[in-house]
Amino acid sequence: MSASTYASVLGLTAAVVLLCAVVTLWRRTLRAIIRVLAVQGLALACVAMVVGLRRHDTGLIVVAVLVLAAKAIVVPMLITRVVRHDPASRETQPLVNVPASLVAAGALTILAFAVTRSVTALVPTPAGRLIPLGLAAMLVGFFALVTRRKAVSQIVGILLVDNGVALVAFLATAGVPLIVELGASLDVLLAVVVLQVLAARLRSLLGSFDLDRLTELHD
Amino acid sequence: MNAGSHTVVAVIASCSQVVAVAVGGLVLIGLMRKVRAHLEGRVGAPILQPMFDVRKLFRKERLRPDQATWIFPLAPVVLVATVAVAAAITPLVTTGPALSTGSDFFALVYLLLVGSTLLALAGMDAGTAFGGMGSSRAVTIGALAEPALLVTILALSATAHSSNLPAIVRATLADPGSVATPQRLFALGALLVVIVAESGRLPVDNPATHLELTMVHEAMILEYAGPDLAFVTVGEAMRLTLLLGVFVNLVAPWGIATTTNVAAVAVGLVTLVAKVAVVGLALAVFEVFTAKLRLFRLPELLAGAFVLALLGVVSGLVVK
Amino acid sequence: MTAASLVVSGAVLGLTAGVGGATLPRRSRVAVGAVLVWGACALEAVAAIHVLVSGHRVVLHSAELLPFTGVNLVLTPLGAFFVLLVAMVAVPATLHGIGYAHHGLDSRMAAFAVPIFVTVLLLVPAAGSVATFMVLWELMALTSLSLVLVDHGRREATRSAGTWYAVITHIGAAAILTAFLILAAHSGGQSFAALRLHARHLAPVVRALVFVLALVGFGSKAGVVPFHVWLPKAHPEAPSPVSALMSGAMVALGVYGIILVGDVILGGGSLWWWLVVLALGAVSALFGSLHAASSTDMKRLLAYSTTDNVGLALIGLGASGLFDATRHPQLAALGLVAALVLLLNHAAFKGALFLSAGSVQSATGTRDLDQLGGLLRRMPQTGALFLGAAAAICALPPLNGFIGEWLLFQSLLHGADIGNTAGEIAIPLAVAAMALTAGLTVVAFVKAAGIGFLGRPRSEGADAAVEVPGTMRLAVGLLVGVCVVLGVVPTLVLPAVERAVRAVLPRVAPLSLAHGVDLQLVGLRGVLEPAALAAAMAGALFGLGALRRALARRPAPRVAEAWGCGRQLQTARMQYTATSFAEPVQRVFDDVLRPVQDLDVSHVAESRYFIEAVTFHNAVDDGIERGLYRPVIGAVRRWGQVARQLQPGSVHRYLAYGLGALVIVLTALTVIR
């Protein structure tokens, strides 16, 4: 593909990743949030595929397929299983209300751009110029982790952070070695499984997923 | 004279020292009591009364408390033995008694400590309240007197650069003026206080009392009878005489034999007897005019002795 | 066999003993372990003697045993001396442990830990590099900690003692490690030889810092005030053979560490370092002896007495450094000899005392002096041996304590005019401290021996006591025998001590002592003739004993009741107790000790004029613990409470901390370019 198409496709997919992160802050129902996560996974896979195709790097293409399978399909499925037992679950009032969260997301994105100015100077390729998007996605995901009440939303937050980091990895270094990506994905998978179990336990103990009720450590 | 006769004379001198201290000790005690009696307006017992007492005690039977162990009969013998060894090696009559090379002031102090420690243990062996009380007070006084004693030795050893007693005496003989230095005087003053404390004389302890509130030494030896008590009496008399003998030879060593011939030893013996008698009498007179201190005033007295000794050391440093 | 192979085989044998102890059945565990440990001690001792006699060091290097750094063992004459000291204590202690086994030493943990502990104690003086030393040091701490806690299931006090010991020993280890790391960073290698080579190029401030850290670290292991608070807690709670090892051998290794860093590696150092050591020694000696004199628990008394003796050794060490810094090499060597002799003597008599205290505890079930009494009649040999060891620690001639005190006194005496004002003031004060300590030690041990062994039994346990098995008596007897031999013929070991000292202070011309059986200071005027003195005392004793027998009418004394002021019956209650014996001393030193006294009078129900019971409780707790440690612990707790506000239990709060920190860092990075 030509340089300009490459640049624009890359930019689009990276932006979609960030956009999904922001939308997570906006949507209220847990099912919707999981769907957005799946879309983000898909966009991430596309980024990897595009970069791999551009560089004719078969390893990266394999990674892209793996990312698709893992982040876009398997993980959302696992989380959906947790939510299935509670069909009408909505994110109740988050700690920071929606408009304020969106404003915060914007601020974090600006911060990300400010911080990575020197980094983008180092990597003048089209991919390199999009690194701030990855960092912003990571910060927004962290913010979601902090301000959501339900356990499931927090699992989603961790996954958003992980996706942001993966995006930065693909953009900055044209991917990471296969083995590293496999290892990282396995870690995340394991984390999700554990969190799923814990969330189920939380529900059975407290009757809901509200993490603010888990204050036994106080005292 | 060859080495063999040196040794013979040294042994003779040592033996004469032991005998002088043993016999002379009892006579000294009798003399002190006589002087006290006269000053108090009494006639008093004969001067040789302590010797008669000892002879009488040897004729009585030995007793021991039912709970006592082998410590009880051992203590009086050890007391006399250690004081006798100490008397043999210190420079009383001559500066060259037997074993004089090892005649260390520090060793002397610890030799005497063996006897008093064992006596304290014997006091506890009886299993009575008196014994425990006497031992407790005696070891406390001993502990409080130690700092003064060792710092005094430090001060007195400074001139001779050694704690070897014959060396100190010889250094004093060689330089008579050194006795009048503030260093020596302070140290000797402290030594006198410590001697009074260690031998259990007034104002630290009253050797004539049998009231439990005032007893220290007497309480420890309350259970002894017969020959054991005789040994204890002799041992205590020897200890006092020995300490006074060391004291006088540090203050005024003139007359002590410096050469190894029998005539010098005889002269030394006579001068020792005279000097110790004088000091003993002075002590007896002092005792008449003193009351026994309360037990818990003793730390003040002994701390005062310690400060005196420390002053002795410090003034030695300053006047260098 | 070369000395190097002896060292290695000794270590291997010790490890085998540990493994054997853990795997064998209960009945043979302790005995087999003990025998193998004796073998290890013998091998190491032979290697040490070889080093001392020939003057050559033994060097062993193995790169495989420890990753990255390898194991580096260098046995110098100084180290060899300490190996012999450890072996001297370890053999009787393990022998005693065979009889003491049912008090917890026959568990798998203990049977494994004791041989490992002894092996590590034997190897620490031979460590030649930082890594080897720290690994062995930590192993020593861990094994001794597990041995302290051997009885923890039964008593709360044991757990508390273990906690204090663990915390203080690890703070000490951290200090030591820091000191070594500072030295290693400047020398580019971690063997002690390399450290020594580069240490002289360090800035004085750095050298001072290293010394202070080493003093804190090794001082806490040696039991120097104010880091001694674990000693009176841990030593009583450990089983007696372990207490003997810890008190006799482990604290000596603490002093070895100070000599290692101060003299060997840093090569002497400044004057004020050694004044600090001298001051700490004097304070420790006074504090230890004072608390020993007021303790009523037999083993706590012995533990405080350990602090006292370590203080005396530090006085000797401080004096030695002082003289070295003011260029009096002869005196410096004498001071160091005195310190080493004091440590050797302490290992011998403190080992004997702890082991016999263990025998007493085994026979009576208690170690509270107020419950004991009359044991000399019921346990004649143990009692006699305890009295012998007590006489040794009171420095009575002709035993070994006297030799050590004489050497210390001579070094201080001849240093009275060294030309440095601070030193000249310090010396008489050190002499005074030494003297008062000696006096208070006599109080403490007359109390321990008199109340514990003489008189009537104060409890049923004491009344029912029987003599302990022969192995336990033999163990104590061995150590008391060593005390007697070292007292009468000290010139047997003094050449070895001189050789060790000459390895540390090589600038000195032939050193200060020995020849024949008399002690003679070379170049200074001071002579002691211990053998002649002992012979004279023995002769006088026998002569007078015979005289008494000849003069007395009947040789054997008649048993009669003691004077009871007209009372007919004497009971055990009428005797002095340990509390009452120490009361005069407590009164004199009231301000320092601050005893807590509690008097409880209960009246008969019918009338307040009649008293039913009076209870008096007197407790002296450790002044430094009360005044220094408890406020610090309290302040730390209060800060902890304040910090708790940061932890309300809300997961969101914790996550917010994380995000906040990340944002702050990123912002800071952008701003600070």
Model confidence at A213, pLDDT cuts 50, 70, 90, reads low
Q: What confidence score (pLDDT) does residue C305 get?
A: 96
Name the residue of chain C whose CA is nearest to B210's CA.
C565
Cβ contact C670–A114 (<8 Å):
yes
The residue with tokens 């493994």 is C19
Cβ contact A145–C659 (<8 Å):
yes
The residue with tokens 């007495």 is C305
User: How do residues C603-655 score in pLDDT, each as one tens digit?
Assistant: 988 888 899 899 888 888 888 888 889 999 999 999 998 888 877 777 778 88
Please state, in angstroms and rounded to a whole number, the distance separating the CA atoms of residues A139 and B230. Answer: 100
CB C443 within 8 A of CB C436: no
Give every CB contact of residue B133 below 8 A, 6+ residues apart in sequence: B212, B215, B219, C576
Q: What confidence score (pLDDT) does residue C510 get?
A: 45
Pick the range with the lowest mean pLDDT from B75-89, B187-201, C140-154, C500-514.
C500-514
- Work out the percent of chain C whose per-residue pLDDT is above 70: 97
Please state, in angstroms and rounded to a whole number, the distance separating the CA atoms of residues B61 and C211. Answer: 66
Quick one: tokens of C598? 């509690």
Cα→Cα distances C109→A193, C86, C104, C169, Å: 40, 22, 9, 20
Average pLDDT, chain C: 88
User: How do residues C355-388 score in pLDDT, each as one tens digit?
Assistant: 999 999 999 988 899 999 889 999 999 999 999 9
Name the residue of chain C whose CA is nearest to A115's CA.
C670
How is chain A split into domains, by residue range?
A: 3-217
Closest by Cα among C111, C105, C430 to C282: C430
Cβ contact A218–C647 (<8 Å):
yes
Cβ contact C455–B125 (<8 Å):
yes
User: How do residues A19-31 score in pLDDT, each as one tens digit?
Assistant: 899 888 888 788 8
User: How do residues C434-453 score in pLDDT, each as one tens digit?
Assistant: 999 999 999 999 999 999 99
ipTM: 0.93
User: How do residues C581-602 score in pLDDT, each as one tens digit?
Assistant: 999 999 888 888 888 888 999 9
Average pLDDT, chain A: 81
Average pLDDT over residues C525-552: 86
Average pLDDT over residues C387-402: 94
Quick one: tokens of C141? 């701490």
Closest by Cα among C208, C221, C129, C230 to C174: C221
Average pLDDT over residues B219-232: 90
Q: Is the pLDDT at A90 greater than 70, yes or no?
A: no
A104 touching chain C per CB within 8 A: no
Q: Is the pLDDT at A123 greater than 80, yes or no?
A: no
Task: Count the domains in chain B.
Answer: 1
Model confidence at C157, pLDDT cuts 50, 70, 90, reads confident
Q: Looking at the partner chain, which of B59, B147, B164 has a beta carbon nearest the beta carbon of C435?
A: B147
User: How do residues C558-573 score in pLDDT, each as one tens digit?
Assistant: 888 887 777 777 788 8
Higher pLDDT, C200 or C375: C375
Q: Is the pLDDT at C74 greater than 50, yes or no?
A: yes
Please state, in angstroms and rounded to a whole number, the distance separating the CA atoms of residues C96 and C142. Answer: 22
Model confidence at A211, pLDDT cuts 50, 70, 90, reads low
- Work out the percent of chain A whose per-residue pLDDT is above 90: 10
Residue type for position B190? A
Q: Is the pLDDT at A199 greater than 80, yes or no?
A: no
The residue with tokens 């050391």 is B313
Pick the range with the lowest mean pLDDT from B117-126, C188-197, C547-556.
C547-556
CA pseudo-torsion sign B263, B267, B272, B273: positive
Cα→Cα distances C115→C89, C139, C254, Å: 13, 12, 20
C204 touching chain A per CB within 8 A: no
Cα→Cα distances C651→A197, C124, C292, C643, C656, Å: 17, 48, 53, 17, 9
Q: Looking at the partner chain, which of C417, C526, C576 has a beta carbon nearest the beta carbon of B163?
A: C526
C435 touching chain B per CB within 8 A: yes
Model confidence at A89, pLDDT cuts 50, 70, 90, reads low
Q: Looking at the partner chain, which of A108, A115, A149 has a beta carbon nearest the beta carbon of C670?
A: A115
Average pLDDT over residues C267-296: 92
Average pLDDT over residues C390-400: 94
Model confidence at A100, pLDDT cuts 50, 70, 90, reads confident
Cα→Cα distances C550→B59, B77, B229, B287, C486, Å: 11, 14, 16, 37, 34
Q: What residues in A contact C663, CB-CB < 8 Å?
A: 108, 111, 139
C562-579 in b/e form (b: 16+ CB < 10 A) is: beeeeeeebebebbbbbb
User: Helix axis angle, B105-125 relative to C400-414, nearest 10°?
Assistant: 140
Model confidence at A53, pLDDT cuts 50, 70, 90, reads confident
Most confident range (mean pLDDT) of B8-12, B287-291, B316-320, C354-358 is: C354-358
Q: Looking at the partner chain, which of B82, B142, B145 has a beta carbon nearest the beta carbon of C537?
A: B82
Residue A51 in 3-state DSSP?
helix
C422 touching chain B per CB within 8 A: no
Q: What confidence score (pLDDT) does residue B296 get?
A: 81
Q: Is the pLDDT at C22 greater than 90, yes or no?
A: no
Range of the domain at B34: 3-319
Average pLDDT over residues B38-48: 92
Please state, in angstroms and rounded to a whole number, the distance separating the CA atoms of residues C468 and B165. Answer: 46
Pick the range with the lowest mean pLDDT from B212-226, C422-436, C575-589.
B212-226
Model confidence at C516, pLDDT cuts 50, 70, 90, reads low
Please state, in angstroms and rounded to a whole number, the distance separating the CA atoms of residues C412 and B218. Answer: 37
How is chain C split into domains, by residue range?
A: 330-548, 623-672
Cβ contact C410–B227 (<8 Å):
no
In angstroms, how far apart are the furthest CA atoms of chain A?
Answer: 62
Chains contacting A with at least 3 CB pairs below 8 Å?
C
C23 touching chain A per CB within 8 A: no
Residue type for position B17? Q
Higher pLDDT, B81 or C417: B81
The residue with tokens 């004649």 is C380
Q: Is the pLDDT at B174 greater than 90, yes or no?
A: no
A114 touching chain C per CB within 8 A: yes
Please state, in angstroms and rounded to a whole number, the distance separating the CA atoms of residues B141 and C446. Answer: 13
Pick the range with the lowest mean pLDDT from B42-46, B212-216, C462-466, C628-632.
B212-216
Give C251: exposed, middle or buried? Use CB within 10 Å, 0-12, 13-18, 19+. buried
- Cis check for the bond before B50: say yes or no (omega within 30 of 0): no
The residue with tokens 């007919």 is C568
Average pLDDT over residues B223-241: 92
Cβ contact C652–A217 (<8 Å):
no
C451 touching chain B per CB within 8 A: yes
Cα→Cα distances A99→A23, A93, A126, B153, Å: 12, 12, 32, 91
